[in-house]
């Protein structure tokens, strides 16, 4: 488990796994900013994104309570 997980924002989900509730809009904005920051627009193949994906997942876990 990531240290500081108790300070992470809660994220409610509906029966389809979609974010809902107070933090859902902030979560969507956070994801958009993170993608803009980490994913190069010159990326040719999605298969080239493994390292970036791992960094993004770590960053997400530091901010929101998400399951592996």
What is the per-residue pLDDT for 1?
44
Mean pLDDT, all residues of the chain:
86
Q: Give the residue-averaged pLDDT of 1-24.
A: 82
What is the per-residue pLDDT for 33?
95
What is the per-residue pLDDT for 40?
85
| Helix pair 50-63, 24-38: axis angle to 10 deg | 150
Check whether 2 has a pLDDT greater than 50. no
Tell me: the pLDDT tens digits for 32-52?
999 999 888 887 887 778 888
> Domain locations in the chain?
5-63
Pick the closest to residue 66 from 37, 33, 29, 23 (CA basis).
23
Pick the closest to residue 25 from 12, 39, 8 (CA basis).
12
Neighbours of 34 (CB within 10 A): 15
């Amino acid at each position: 488990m990531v240290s500081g997980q108790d300070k992470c924002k809660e994220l409610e989900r509906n029966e389809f796994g979609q974010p809902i509730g107070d933090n859902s809009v902030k979560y969507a904005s956070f994801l958009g900013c993170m993608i803009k920051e980490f994913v190069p627009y010159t990326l040719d193949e999605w298969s080239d994104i493994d390292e970036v994906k791992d960094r993004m997942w770590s960053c997400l876990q530091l901010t929101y309570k998400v399951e592996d």
